[in-house]
Structure 1
Amino acid sequence: MNVKTSKQAMIFAAGLGTRLKPLTDTMPKALVRVGGKTLLEHVVERLKGAGFEHIVVNVHHFSGMIVDYLRRNNDFGIDIRVSDETPALLDTGGGIKHAASLFDSDMPVLIHNVDIFSDINLTELYCAGMASDATLLVSRRTTSRYLLFDDDMTLVGWTNVETGEVRSPYAGLDVSKCRMYAFSGIHVFSPRLFSLMDTFPDKFGIMDFYLKICDKIRIRGMVKDGLRLMDVGKTDILSDAEAFLSQCNADGNN
Structure 2
Amino acid sequence: MQTMIFAAGLGTRLKPLTDTMPKALVRVGGMPLLAYVIRKLTKAGCSRMVVNVHHFADQITDYLETHDFGVKILVSDETERLLDTGGGIKRAAPLFDRYQPVLVHNVDILSNVDLAGFYRHASMSEADVLLLVSHRITQRYLIFDKRMRLAGWTNVATGEVKSPHQAIRRLHFVSPEVGTYCQNNCFLCAFSGIHVLSPSAVQAVEAEQDDVFPIMDFYLSHCGRMEIHGELKTDLQLVDVGKLNTLQAAEDFIVNSGHQVSRAED
TM-score by length of 2: 0.88
Matched, 1:218 2:227: yes
The SS at the match of 2:224 is coil
Q: Relative to structure 2, which stretch is displaced further, 100-109 or 170-179?
A: 170-179
Matched, 1:9 2:3: yes
Equivalent residue number for residue 158 of structure 2: 163
Equivalent residue number for residue 179 of structure 2: none
Matched, 1:139 2:139: no
Equivalent residue number for residue 17 of structure 2: 23
Instruction: After superposition, give the CA deviation of every residue in 1:94-124 in whole Å (9 maximum; x if it has no partner).
Output: 0001000000111111100000000011011
Partner AA of 2:211 in structure 1: D
Gaps in structure 1 of 5+ consecutive residues: 1-6
The SS at the match of 2:82 is coil
Equivalent residue number for residue 255 of structure 2: 246
The SS at the match of 1:110 is strand
Shift of 1:188: 0.6
Superposed, 1:52-67 pairs within 5 Å as 52-67=46-61
The SS at the match of 1:45 is helix
Q: Percent identity?
A: 56
Shift of 1:237: 1.2
Alignment check: 8 A CA contact 1:118 1:248 kept? no
Give the distance between the partners of 1:218 and 1:142, measured in 2 at CA. 25
The SS at the match of 1:98 is helix
Gaps in structure 2 of 5+ consecutive residues: 172-183, 260-266
In the alignment, which of 190, 196, 203 is matched to residue 182 of structure 1?
A: 190
Give the distance between the partners of 2:228 and 2:75, measured in 1 at CA. 27
Give the distance between the partners of 2:209 and 2:109, measured in 1 at CA. 27
Partner AA of 1:120 in structure 2: V
Equivalent residue number for residue 92 of structure 1: 85
Shift of 1:20: 0.9
In the alignment, which of 118, 141, 148 is matched to residue 111 of structure 2?
A: 118
Shift of 1:195: 3.4
Partner AA of 2:101 in structure 1: P
TM-score by length of 1: 0.92
Equivalent residue number for residue 146 of structure 2: 151
Partner AA of 1:231 in structure 2: D
Shift of 1:247: 2.5
Q: How many residue pairs align between the two structures?
A: 243
Equivalent residue number for residue 80 of structure 1: 73
Give the distance between the partners of 2:245 and 2:226, measured in 1 at CA. 39
Q: Relative to structure 2, which stretch is displaced further, 87-96 or 229-238?
A: 229-238
